[in-house]
Each structure stands twice: as C-alpha cells, then as structure tokens.
Amino acid sequence: MSFKLTDEQLMIQSMVREFSRKVVAETAAERDKTKEFPADNLKKMAELGLLGMMVPFDYEGSDSDTVGYVLALSEIAYSCASTAVVMSVHNSIVCESILNFGTEDQKQHYLKDLAMGKYIGAFALTEPEAGSDPVSQQTTAVKDGDHYIINGTKRFITTGKNSGLVIVTAKTDPEARHKGISTFIVTRDNPGLVVGNTEDKMGLRASDTTDLHLEDCRVPAADMLGKEGEGFKIVMKGLDGGRIGIAAQSLGVAQAAFDAAVKYAKQRDQFGQKISKFQGLRWIIADMATEIEAARQLTLSAAAMKDSKKRFTTQASMAKLYASEMVNRVTAKALQMHGGYGFTKDYPVERFYRDARVFTIYEGTSEIQRVVISNNILKDKRTTK
C-alpha cells in the first residue's frame, strides 16, 4: 500500500520538522547529559497544538488524524527521543483514553487542560511485580462513600515526576482477573500521591521515569475513568494507540541515525577515498534505508486503519514490533559506520543508539507483541500457569 499524504498532513510534517530541527534539536544533547526535563520544549509544542493532536476542537485540541500525529511525533523523535516519549504518552494514551472513555465533565475538566498543555499526562500501569502481566498488579481501590481509597506502587512511570495528571489502574475486585481492574484519573491535588525513586537510565535521559506511591490516595468516584471493571479494556485500547506512537518514535530516531551515517560516510576518507565509495558500506546503507521504509509503511498502515475506525490491534503490534527492532539494527549499523568516533559523545549516533534500546521493551516487549499478533491470527490465546 502506498500512502499519498494530504495537504494538511504535509503541512503538519513540514511545520513540526522545522520546529524540531531549529528548537528541539538545539538542547537535545545537553539534556541527555543533565537529564533536564524538556518543559520549555513542551510549552512551545502546546502553543503549536502538539499536545492535543487527536483531540477535537471542542476540547481545545488540533483535531488531527493519526497519520498526521505519526508524522509529527517522528519529527520530534528525530531531534530528541526524550521529548518524543513524553509527547507520545501524553497524546496516545492519556488524552485518547479520556476522549474515548471519559464523561463529559472529565473531558471539560481534564481533557481541555491536557490539550492546551496546562499539565502533562502520565499513565501508571506497571508495578514491581506486574509488567507484561498487568492482571497480576497489586494496587487496590476500595470504595469509601463518594471516594475511592487507592493503595499500591507503580514503577517505570514516564513523566511520573513532572506530570500533573496520571491515569492509574487498580483492582476494585481483587478476586476477579481482567474484570477486576478499574482506571482512575489522579491529579497532583489528590492527597496520597507520592513520587518515589527516579531511575538513572541508559537512554531517554531527559524524560523522567519514576516510581509512584499511592498511600491511602483519595480519589473522587467521579474521577473513575469508564465504569468499574472496565480498566483492562481501557488499558488495552490505550496501548494499541500507544504502540503506534512507539513505532513513530522508532522511525524518527532511525531516520536521524541513518542521516548521520550517510553524512559521515560522505565525509570520511580512508584508503584514499570516501568510505561511501566502498561496496560493503553502500550495501549497509541500502539495507538501512529499506528497513526504515518498511517500518514507515507498517506504521502508516496501522495509523490509517485507526483513522478508518477499523480494528487495528494486530497492525499496531506489527508496527511496534518491526519498527522497534528495526531502529536497534539501524542505530547499531550507524554507530559501526562511524567506527571509534561512534563510541564517543562527540557524535550523536551514540545517543541515538542508547535511546533506541528501550523501544523493544516499553508499552509491551517484542515478545508480548508476538503474543498479541499470533493470538489475533490464530484466534485463540495461550495461557501459562
């Protein structure tokens, strides 16, 4: 399938590309060193409408389609993967989940502020003993009058420290499995939400990843997202969209690494000629370009299926699986082409290589994507005891 982008999509791509290369890229390397959260970038992105891209105009969003969002997100990732992952979780999971399952009051009260960038959203599912198996989570929510009391610990939460709103999953029926999980909108104003340890990570260093402790956290019953027991369904739908976002991030980082490698190959002299003249490296460049294009088509296909209101779970997992594995191969080859220089911080491929590594892990590992894909193909589910 070949994609002909609309004028609007091309405009979004061009606008975000210019902003990303001029503004976001300027501080990306320094943020990688200092781990400074890109708050100033995000403020400017909010002004451009990038923090509510798929949110309707009625809720202060940009009312973009998913294809336009993928183009924009990949352009941000090209310059700074840390900024892109914040944008991805905020748009793909937080805003989309409230848009799809929130009440009108929740949309008016929370979605508008998210779309305008008044605060950044986070998504708290993973726990110390519940990663790929979310049904094993231990966080509980107990009804207490017109509130719920939530207790538990969430781990590896993107933007956990700098977010103003968190979608939290918790068990409202500990005896049930999938149908025992519910989701809640928790803000910094809710007593009992405590930020824990911030991870010192290999990559995406300007994006904070933290523990969140919920200690008798009182949340109004009106801030339950969806109905009681619908949490697993809400999470899975959110992750479908989120996986398209990870694929888009992978595309951006891979394209940046590829462009850096091509530029270096055209400049580097060895054995009396540019290394781009050597057949071995030319073949590597050809393979890199082909893999990036294949991932782009998979990602755009998944985005287009989402826009057409078709079921896109399998396509989202395929895009995430292939693109995240692809970016690890491409960044490794780009670093190798730089030789010893690629192993230093004088060249950006070192950062691209580190940033890319987590893409096969978060929002569902490559192994989990293969489970999702095969389950949908075979129309059954294998379970282990």
* Residues catalogued as catalytic: 363
Q: Phi then psi for 363, rounded to 5 degrees?
A: 55, 35
CB contact at 8 A, 157 and 120: no
Q: Which residue has the tokens 């590597």?
A: 284
Q: Which residue has the tokens 């940046």?
A: 256
What is the DSSP secondary-structure string of 272-337?
Answer: TEEGGGSHHHHHHHHHHHHHHHHHHHHHHHHHHHHHTT---HHHHHHHHHHHHHHHHHHHHHHHHH
- Could you give the CA distance from residue 148 to residue 165 in angstroms, rounded to a whole number? 17
- Could you give the CA distance from residue 70 to residue 68 in angstroms, rounded to a whole number? 5
Give the DSSP letter of residue 199. Answer: P
CB contact at 8 A, 339 and 278: no
Residues linked to residue 186 through DSSP beta bridges, in sequence order: 166
The encoded tokens of residue 369 equal 């994507």
Q: Is 198 helix (H, G, I), strand (E, B) or coil?
A: strand
Sign of the CA dihedral with 369 first, then 358, 81, and 262 last: negative
Which of 176, 195, 190 is closest to 222 using CA atoms? 190
Q: Is 269 helix (H, G, I), strand (E, B) or coil?
A: strand
Task: Give the other-Cβ count within 10 Å of 353's Cβ.
Answer: 23
Q: Is 272 helix (H, G, I), strand (E, B) or coil?
A: coil
Q: Which residue has the tokens 């891979």?
A: 254
- Could you give the CA distance from residue 21 to residue 25 in angstroms, rounded to a whole number? 5
- Could you give the CA distance from residue 217 to residue 51 in angstroms, rounded to a whole number? 27
CB contact at 8 A, 160 and 211: yes
Residues linked to residue 165 through DSSP beta bridges, in sequence order: 121, 187
Cα 241 to the chain's mean position, in Å?
A: 9
